[in-house]
Amino acid sequence: MSRLDSHIRQKIAQRDAIDLAARRLGDREGLIVEFGLGTGRSYSHLAERFPSREIFCFDRRDVAHPRSRPPADHFYIGELLAVLADPTLHHRFAGRVMLLHLDLGSGGPEDETVPELVVERTHGWLAPGAVVLSDQELTLATAWCLDAVDTRGQLQHADRYHVYRRPEG
Ligand SMILES: C[S@@+](CC[C@H](N)C(=O)[O-])C[C@H]1O[C@@H](n2cnc3c(N)ncnc32)[C@H](O)[C@@H]1O
């Protein structure tokens, strides 16, 4: 398969995963956090699907398109593992996040480790029933209290975007 076809498949799966999360989460209250804002394409889709929710984004680079960038006070710029060392951040988000979107893939070796390091540091942010979407498949630690969701039949190219859910209560 060409890299273009592979990329298109992943983007279709990503869009379908966000749409699935919007259907499942409905009117549930809570914050949305995106790790990997990039140019803001997935941010713009999250903002459309969750119009009344606060969305906070993280990235080491500030390259978001002007039409799809979060307000400055909702955008944390820097290396994730350094930014996530700030305890005030954990106080701000603890138990309040209903959707965590990880889109950190670069095609390099850090794809193997960074997403799991990020979830290791932020699983305390998740509310009961929260959904986690990830471009990389995660090896789940018990302490994260997350279950993999079988999305076959619900997402096109379901093997290209990964959906997890924290059980209710
Ligand atoms: C695939 S792109 C994100 C695409 C974006 N969600 C979109 O739809 O436009 C991955 C992003 O993750 C960011 N990223 C990857 N590893 C990071 C790290 N360790 N710290 C901060 N940002 C990181 C990169 O800078 C890049 O912008």
Supply 54's token pair.
């606060």
Q: Give the rounded percent of residues in the chain with a pLDDT score beyond 70.
A: 100
pTM for this one?
0.97
- Tens of pLDDT, residue by residue over 79-120, are 999 999 999 999 999 999 999 999 999 889 999 899 999 999
In which residue are the tokens 């039949």 written? Answer: 153
Between 106 and 20, name the one with better pLDDT. Answer: 20
The ligand 1 atom at the shortest distance from the C-alpha of residue 64 is 9
CA–centroid distance, 6 to ligand 1, in Å, is 18
What strands, in cross-sheet order, belong to the sheet with 126-134? 75-77, 55-59, 31-35, 97-102, 126-134, 162-165, 147-148
Supply 26's token pair.
């409905």
Note the pLDDT of residue 27: 87
Question: If 0-12 CB within 10 Å is exposed, 13-18 middle and 19+ buried, where does residue 1 land?
Answer: exposed
For ligand 1, atom 11, name the residue with the nearest CA: 36
Mutate to test the pocket of ligand 1, among 10, 32, 37, 46 (most ligand atoms within 8 A of CB): 37
Average of per-residue pLDDT across 67-88:
97
Distance separating alpha carbons of residues 58 and 34, to the nearest angstrom: 6
CA–centroid distance, 39 to ligand 1, in Å, is 9
Confidence of residue 169 (pLDDT cuts 50, 70, 90): confident
CA–centroid distance, 40 to ligand 1, in Å, is 10
Distance separating alpha carbons of residues 132 and 5, to the nearest angstrom: 25
Beta bridge partners of 59: 77
In which residue are the tokens 């997350």 written? Answer: 146
- Tens of pLDDT, residue by residue over 117-136, are 999 999 999 999 999 999 99
Other CB atoms within 10 Å distance of the CB of residue 85 = 11
Confidence of residue 78 (pLDDT cuts 50, 70, 90): very high
